[in-house]
Amino acid sequence: MQIPTQSKGFEALPQELVDAVIDQNLDDLGALHASSLVCSSWTSASQRHLFSHVHFYNHSNFRFYRAKPTKNSHQIDRFYNLITTYPHLARLVKSVEVEPLLDASQEEFLGLTLQKLENLERISLDLGGYYWDELSQCMRDALLTTFRSPRVTNLELREGLFFKCADFLALLGACEHLKRLSLFYMSCDDLDEVIDTSDTPLPKGMNLKLDSLTLSLYEHSYLPLMHRLLQLQELMDLSHLHRLSVLTAGTGHLNERIETTKEILRLNSHSLEHLVLNVCLGEPLSKLIDITQLRSIQVKLWWVRCDQHTDAVEWLRWLAETFTDLAKHRIEEVTFEVFYCGELTNHASEWNALDTVLGNIPSLRRVDVKLDCYDGLKGRWRHHNEYPSSIAADVKTILPAISKKNILSHEVAANYHS
């Protein structure tokens, strides 16, 4: 009897099993590349992950740009040549991240490349501190053409500036099919001028109905920008969001950050299912939104600078009150991201009160605790190997009821890796 070769043995495996094996190695670039060489069925499954998200990085030395190549990074000219030779790879791309392309030889490939990505659903533009107008006309035209595509429903804008608010709104107006919008540290130079007037021309036909909104707002830019967006309720409907993330940062203005967050929350009526916050609202969440549909909540608790953030005791008491209300409904997942210095087990009585409330929520099936500890002596966040061996026991100590239900997990150096 003829013994099958190794390659035929791999080809005989059920595709469901092949997919399961590859899905376990999504973050291992070497494993994905190795898997793609096994046989044809493994190649297609591996390439689906290798090319689902691509990052076109700027390799020019002109001006400082801090973004570093990742496992999905490509020089755009080489990627264009790749998908021209192997067209099926272009159909695998669902998400693209673009940086300012400062080299004219790169810019000409952007429009050509984006045209080939027929299944593109998401585009992320990281301006890296540049103004939109600093991009070449060629690059802006290529991006706006892509934004208008009915397939592109997810847009992310990072760390950029606009000279005029009208230009920012015109960009949003080009994304008429948008369902998910993420804005990270975006601002406009003339916000103070247009905040109380109606002089800013609004894009014709702009009528966005968003399902998801993610906002990261910093210092003086966040308040006027959000006020301007709040004035556009007829043009950008935020009343039926299912996902909302509002994160504010800065060296002060805590009360303004809290009030801005509350304003955004009040725009949602009855549909919100997933919520992310990083400020203590100081009043029941049920007074701001309809919590009956809420299924998950993620809270970032900053306890490093008392002069810039809410006190830890006040935070924990507010959380206990909030989850007392949520216990009456169907909250299923909770994530606490704790940024702290000192001992995690401080404020034992407040932790115990929160743990008691969480332990009495029958629908709760997962609680994640993500920890980042600031080392004041070294002036930096602790590396993964610098956390004490007792940290797992400490997490169980502050949330014993949740631990007993076997729904508690924890992660150290969750945001600030070594």
Long-range contacts, stretch 380-387, CB < 8 angstroms, 24+ apart: 381/413, 381/416, 382/412, 382/413, 382/416, 383/413, 383/417, 383/418, 384/412, 384/413, 384/417, 384/418, 385/418, 387/412, 387/413
CB 344 within 8 A of CB 395: yes
Task: Chunk the chain into consecutive blocks of 10 residues (it has 418) and report each block's average pLDDT, rounded to whole numbers.
Answer: 51 65 63 65 73 78 44 79 92 91 76 93 92 90 92 94 85 88 86 56 67 80 61 69 87 78 79 92 91 94 81 94 93 96 91 96 96 92 92 95 96 83
Torsion region of 117: left, alpha or beta (phi above 0 gives left; psi -120 to 50 gives alpha) = beta
Residue 106 pairs in a beta bridge with: none
> The pTM is what?
0.84
User: Torsions phi, psi of 87, nearest 5?
Assistant: -60, -25
Three-state SS at 81: helix
pLDDT of residue 61: 43
CB 252 within 8 A of CB 289: no
Question: How many other C-beta atoms are found inside a 10 Å radius of the C-beta of residue 172?
Answer: 21
pLDDT of residue 224: 63
Distance of CA 335 to the CA centre of its chain: 14
pLDDT of residue 412: 93
pLDDT of residue 65: 43
C-alpha dist (Å) from residue 276 to 2, 273, 332, 336: 59, 10, 14, 10
